[in-house]
A and B are shown apart, each in its own frame.
Chain A
């Protein structure tokens, strides 16, 4: 079991030296007592105990013992790191091996005894983790929920504070948070208790009052009303910062919906997708800009349809050459096209028209009936409407003849063709419509930033969009929303996190493929449920339907 501990120890070394621990250390979970960085290490040690316990013998004692050993080993590794840091100048190589980190690891003790303390703490946390591993699920769920609640309050304190901004809520705010600092002890306890109670009571509510819940149709209506109300009030309640984050989430949702047509439905892995976002943005930029590169001085509303059309055509044009390419070769070829587009836009050769690395400046904001949509709080509504329209289109397409043809070519291109599906038109429609969706996003992006330049359209964006549809669940429209909320929204809210978001994206892609390849909200299950309902009704009628010979 010491091997489990060593693996976790290595992970702990990595997160420490890569700077994650120190970055999170800047955020209090309990003001002045316990930081998010410490929480990360504590969670790692406890997790090593949990894994150690689950991987070992049948008896309770053996499992607890194994967990303790794993925790102690991981703790020892951390202690060793602290000791090394005190004696060797690790910082010459590892930029984040800072005094703050070692201070945090040693908690003020001298390095000679600090490692022993780490070992003991590790053993204790390992034991705790293994206890969680052997405890019944009914107990574990509220426990973990409580933990998440406590951590969540600390991690998303900016958001909570923004919501508690109004004068009327001052007392709540002061009770939950230290002025200018992190959550108070009672605040954390309250958050933990609330989430634990919520998780603990949910099954109880379900069993006690099965009839009390609303019929499904009514529940749907209620929930969608709640959703709409929330969407409408969020930016007002959260202020410009939250609105800005939500606009970005919306833009990624638009791109995600587009890429989802290509990758999720049609199985065409496109790594150059950001090019269409860029084309949408540049089209709007060039058509509306009042600066030197503006060519038409159109209004935003006139430019958007053109931008969508240009993106659509670009999707088809770049789709034609790659029609015959499959699988991983397709991914690389589209990546090549995406990079070619970016490099051309960036080059001095096209500078007179596209502005080179400076880009197109002075893009005016959209105007609705004399009212300028200037700040993020205004653009938010534009983004929401655009996302809703595009999501509706995507949803209609998915359940149509074309959507089925896309899924068929994803599953088996040859068979689909032998069933009479014209691969050329079906694939080009996927490329074109997917690109058009991204073009909508690009158009909004252009007016949001007020300028477009090539640096905004790097491969990283394509990878982010790919990551979000995979995390959400390929081929699933709600999955796209969840994916962009989790992968784009959360990191925006966690400022310290910024530098590490791509690290987390990479890890998330690998972890999702290893542990849950179908994503958080898988499409297949939804579809099955959907059809199961439809199927159930006409059973009897269908038996009476005429014989199979008719119509032939």
Chain B
């Protein structure tokens, strides 16, 4: 460092490129190169038909809808408490896993296929109630007593709560995979504009869209929603305006939990199985979606989820296949995690650009 002090006058605009900056540029460049090179390679190979690409995109959208619903919980909680609710993935898991014990008897008695819509609504309701309960419980036990603690402290309890919940549900329900019953109605394809679309994915996408629309209206239109936004702007000012901040925080966790519970059922429709560890990866990806959209920003979380879902679904075939990589689909999570890391490094305020980055000084 002493040498810097002795250094000559430097012009501020053409500041020397520090080795850290150079490293980061190389990182960016490498990712861009991989993506471009791979894409060109894949397209030149022409291994996939147009229909397959459409399938990838639709599947990505369905999956992205699920991420988006989970992401709402992250983004709303972050907006209000400025903390990552690390246990949110487990909130998502708890609802779907518990609802299995409703779905299985319904399927066994034949009710599920006699009244599929009613059954689906019932399952969503059960999952939402359970997830809400777990979310509120976590807030009460693990976060509320630490409202004024340094930032790392609630993050560590959140990690603890996450693992506690995983293994609690493993203890309660067992460690095996449970096969979710399938709806006869949702098997097969629907023709939309001459393209065959898997019914499950259409149902999931439509349900996710309806739920997101409803949630958005709830936050923007209702009195409680306005109070939530007020609390996320400024807790103290909101309290002065007569808003019960604690109650709003609980409600935020509850709403986020309900959305995650519903997402859990949609996940079970797509992947047809549940287990105690199912919350982890979707949880991280939903968090990625929330950051992509600009954390704290509700429409951003929705768009971020859809975007991530599509990239992750199209990516292995588009970017990696062309590079001659063996079994590119194994690397779909690598694509998601790379996006996560890159967003955090290069654009922590998200692609939509709402700046919530920590203020300096």
Contacts and interface: CB of A to CB of B under 8 A. Distances in A.
Any A–B CB pair closer than 8 Å: yes
A332 B157 CA distance: 15
B148 to A, nearest CB: 12
Contact of A349 (B101, B167, B287, B331): B331
B164 A503 contact: yes
Given A503-B168, A509-B156, 16 more contacts: A19-B171, A96-B172, A269-B155, A321-B24, A322-B344, A331-B84, A336-B341, A340-B341, A347-B331, A348-B326, A349-B330, A420-B1, A467-B160, A470-B156, A505-B163, A506-B162
B152 interface: yes
Contacts of A347: 326-327, 330-331, 334
Report whether over half of chain B's contact residues are helix, strand or loop; otherwise say mixed.
Answer: helix
B341 A321 contact: yes
B338 interface: yes
Contacts of B246: none
A510 B360 CA distance: 30
B353 interface: no
Contacts of A346: 330
A328 B159 contact: no
Contacts of A322: 344-345
Interface stretch (A70-78, A87-95, A175-183, A479-487): A87-95
A514 B155 contact: no
Nearest to A94: B172
B173 A328 contact: no
B183 interface: no
A424 B20 contact: yes
Interface string B324-361: 01111011011001101100110010000000001011
Interface in A271-301: 271
Contact of A337 (B165, B280, B341): B341
B338 to A, nearest CB: 6
Given A320-B23, A331-B155, A349-B325, A343 B164 contact: no
5 contacts: A328-B152, A470-B156, A502-B163, A506-B165, A514-B142
A14 interface: yes
A269 B84 CA distance: 13
Contact of A514 (B1, B84, B146, B163): B146
A14 B168 contact: yes
Contacts of A337: 337, 341
B156 A513 contact: yes
A20 B164 CA distance: 14
A95 B330 contact: no
In the complex, which range does the number of interface residues on chain B fall in? 35 or more
A500 interface: yes
B13 interface: no
B345 A324 contact: yes
A499 B171 contact: yes
B161 interface: yes
Contact of B340 (A18, A332, A503): A332
A95 B340 contact: no
B171 A328 contact: no
A513 B144 CA distance: 12
A328 B344 contact: no
A485 B119 CA distance: 50
A510 B160 contact: yes
B27 interface: yes
A329 B86 CA distance: 11
A54 interface: no
A328 B158 CA distance: 11
Given A327-B152, A343-B334, A463-B159, A510 B172 contact: no
A335 B153 CA distance: 17
Contact of B163 (A325, A331, A509): A509
